[in-house]
Amino acid sequence: MALNKKPVTGMKDILPEEMAIREYVQKVISETYAGFGFTRIETPCVETIENLTSKSGGDNEKLIFRILKRGEKLNLETAQTQDDLVDSGLRYDLTVPLVRYYSNNSSVLPAPFKALQMGNVWRADRPQRGRYRQFMQCDIDILGEADNLAEIELILATTTTLGKLDFKGFEIRINDRRLLKAMAQWAGFAESDYDSVFITIDKMDKIGIDGVKAELLENGYAAETVEKYANLLNKAVNGEASLGSIMDTVGEELAKDPVTNLEEIITAVESSKQADFKMVFDPTLVRGMSYYTGTIFEIAIPEFGGSCGGGGRYDEMVGKFTGQSVPACGFSIGFERIVLLLTEKGFKVPGSGEGKAYLIEKGISGDRLSEILAKAADERKAGKKILTVRMNKNKKFQKEQLTKAGYTEFEDFYREALK
């Protein structure tokens, strides 16, 4: 029986044209973030199962690719639950590995620590446009900075990167988890129910306000509480809820600090931004991860119609590893979706069309071949991209294919001079 030539569902082969775009985007990201003082690090793709299931990853913890124990540790006969069979898993994001990394190495890292990570993550998710089971994430994080200068720097660095990739007219939607909690408290939800309520609110762009109400009622929450909360959210959806009006509604005592925080961030970013975008306060923005404690933000690019990245503040997460509170904030750019949008609009990597192809007739060998290869070496030393290939019978088709691959010059080499 023939082996399966297709990639596993939710994963994909990357063809040369897309690979060139991916490498270019990574280069822009690296260079731009380095200009803001972020340092590149790397963490393993495998983490202990305890770290991955620490109730820090929200619904993503349901999507972990678990790894079986190995050798003598794997005992199928005595295992009673799934947890008895596994001891690790593939990371579903880069934040949990970063926090473990920082907790393990903080004594030799600067404070605050500005980290850049780029690497694949894995989620057993339902594949769809721009969503895969293996995908690249690009994160920047600042650990050890309690002031909202961290949020401002993260937003400016990310939006500057998007501007360099020629994205315009996008939005950075921003909210604060403390404001979400104030709204939930005002409506009458118990504090122990906040995370569950927010998971439902996070689906609003898919199921609408009526769907949110129905799910909250189905989950057993009081009709009066659900209606009160839904009315406030509905005003937000219709653009009738500003920072000031929400503070007036839920009470200054509850909302003053997060509202002031958001106002400062929005003002600072708008006054110093280098890309064409706008900051938008969105009181319905939740972000799925339960580890967020303060500011949260998300990238909305009109061409995609959904989130193209996001992040926020997670001040309590390091403490789960070390027992000591360390302020932390991060922003993840939607790498796969950025590449998808660039590919769909026919983006060409700058300088990618400067290649030259040597077409060498079959049969050329010995001194003649060495002479041709030496000439190619000289041109490469001069900075040119030279491809040396054997000439096909259908040379016209071969050149057409090479032109699509970015080669604009050709030189043909024959065993004998053409008459």
What's the order of all strands across the beta sheet hosting 385-390? 385-390, 355-360, 407-413
pLDDT in tens, the chain (419 residues): 789 999 998 999 999 889 999 999 999 999 999 999 999 999 999 999 999 988 766 677 888 999 988 766 666 666 666 777 888 999 999 999 999 999 999 999 999 999 999 999 999 988 887 788 999 999 999 999 999 999 999 999 999 999 999 999 999 999 999 988 888 888 899 988 888 888 888 888 788 888 988 999 999 999 999 898 888 888 777 766 677 777 777 777 677 888 899 999 999 999 999 999 999 998 888 886 678 899 999 999 988 877 899 999 999 999 999 999 999 999 999 999 999 999 998 898 887 667 899 999 999 999 999 999 999 999 999 989 999 999 999 999 999 999 888 888 999 999 876 54
Q: Are 94 and 43 in contact (CB under 8 A)?
A: yes
The one-letter code for the residue type at 366 is: G
Task: State phi, psi for 17 to the nearest 5 degrees.
Answer: -60, -45
The one-letter code for the residue type at 389 is: V
Q: Which two tokens stand for residue 18?
A: 């897309």
Q: Which two tokens stand for residue 175?
A: 């909210």
Domains of the chain: 16-344 (3.30.930.10), 355-413 (no CATH)
DSSP state of 62: G
